[in-house]
A and B are shown apart, each in its own frame.
Chain A
């Protein structure tokens, strides 16, 4: 196993692991996937000129999405987007975004 010594123990273990099924413990919840759609314009780094969403308060998110949908808050495009989500979807998005840091 001269080669193993050269390459280091990590490689040998990696080779041993080859026989095993690939796994990952992470899981994506629906709120996270829905919110990821928002980040296309509202960059998570707050780059660009759309308002940043990181840590956006949950109840404010819900009320603003409602206001865009019913027209009480004027918008150029969020009126058209907000009507595409159910109240339950908006809550999932708001729950997830409020946890972002």
Chain B
């Protein structure tokens, strides 16, 4: 620990506040075996990082926990399709860090991490601060691979929004949908596997259809997919037919859904070596994805696009002492969802607390639940419980999980729609409340 610069440590102590000083109580007693409270830095205040920060303090109140997140207000990606459908507002999906700081004693720093030094256990921020950590949790979400398809770059995201990170992008896509004339065509290019929120593109099509049905019923929705099947497919397709007739057309890879080039100026996609084109009035290109930039930059992805971890603890397989949770991690059968990230935050927090206590890591058992709205009164879900298998991979527990029944009556779909809203309220309270 001699590499900790005195100035930086003072900074860390300063922001730790009263709780930090209290943490040194045993040292003040002059005990020869005195200890200091460990400092855990969490990068990223989304579903994974905010949960990890909160549960670290919940599991072990003496810990010093610093959460570094660039935005003071975080917009959840889940729920953003409801904004596109016009039945939720941006305020409904806005979360802040007030409770983490005031109720749970997390030191929340509004800044972004520009560099991590795993050897020195230090992070540098854009604001010019250097902080040392004993443990680091990274939850940086996703980054986009705009280099995967020619013709479109990140600079085109205003004209052709991805809206796959919520916030301004959600507003841009919503305004374009509002400005589109009746009879227009909304084309969405769904990302290849694996990607954030597997049912998300299909819920988005549903919510846009819900809006079109009321506001511009002659319009059309085309989903271009490089896949041959998708999450909750049977339930989505049946729901689309029931509520929207033939408004939504899903085009799999084998029928020209594999987009090979984007002509941004003409809002046109090109596939089948130029034989198939789709002209849009509103084009929503969701690029293929990879781990968040800081994880890539720190070398946590190795040769791949995602971060391999010990799936019992979520500690990086590449840099010990760094835990990677949420979308950036490789988590066996767990999908890249906010619910998964929330659960992984708890596993990593428990692993760090038990490591400090000199205990072996626990055998995790964890869950995912994803609700999707087809209309505001018709929801479907997929759920699973995961446990570590003999190969050390998180796998679905046999006999558990699955999707909503295909033959459920409207009352069950409505009940699930009510629980969809309840899930949002509950999980955001668990993460940021």
Residues of A within 8 A of B (CB): 7, 9-11, 13-30, 32-34, 36-37, 39-45, 47-50, 76-77, 80-85, 89
Contacts and interface: CB of A to CB of B under 8 A. Distances in A.
Contacts of A17: 24, 27, 34-36
Interface in B8-40: 9-10, 13, 20-21, 24, 27-28, 34-39
B81 interface: no
A49 B356 contact: no
Contacts of A85: 365, 385, 397, 400
Given A40-B369, A81-B383, A22 B35 contact: yes
Chain B interface: which size bin?
35 or more
A91 to B, nearest CB: 13
Interface in B384-398: 384-387, 396-397
A36 B27 contact: no
A13 B60 contact: no
Pick from B9, B362, B369 the residue with the most CB of A within 10 Å.
B362
B412 A18 contact: no
A27 to B, nearest CB: 4
B429 A24 contact: no
B423 A22 contact: no
A23 to B, nearest CB: 4
A76 B426 contact: no
Nearest to B367: A37
B423 A26 contact: no
Interface in B28-56: 28, 34-39, 55
Given A41-B427, A83-B385, 5 more contacts: A11-B10, A17-B35, A33-B350, A40-B426, A41-B422
B337 to A, nearest CB: 11
Nearest to A92: B365
B38 A26 contact: no
A50 B427 CA distance: 11
Contact of A22 (B27, B36, B362, B412): B36
A48 B6 contact: no
Contacts of B27: 13-14, 16-17, 20
Contact of A33 (B38, B134, B346, B422): B346
A84 B400 contact: yes
B63 interface: yes
Contacts of A18: 1, 4, 9, 36
Contact of A47 (B36, B39, B396, B429): B429
Nearest to A31: B362
A22 B21 contact: no
Nearest to B345: A36
Given A17-B27, A40-B342, A89-B365, A48 B397 contact: no
15 contacts: A11-B10, A17-B27, A18-B36, A24-B38, A24-B356, A26-B62, A26-B353, A37-B343, A41-B423, A49-B419, A49-B425, A76-B404, A77-B369, A81-B401, A83-B401
Contacts, number: 187
B427 A25 contact: no
A67 to B, nearest CB: 16
Nearest to A84: B385
Contacts of B359: 27
Contacts of A13: 24, 27-28
A24 B352 CA distance: 10
Contacts of A21: 35
A24 B427 contact: no
Contacts of A10: 13, 21, 24, 28
A39 B62 CA distance: 22
B353 to A, nearest CB: 5
Given A28-B59, A81-B367, A84-B384, A50 B426 contact: yes
A40 B367 contact: yes
B418 A49 contact: yes
Contact of A76 (B2, B402, B412, B425): B412
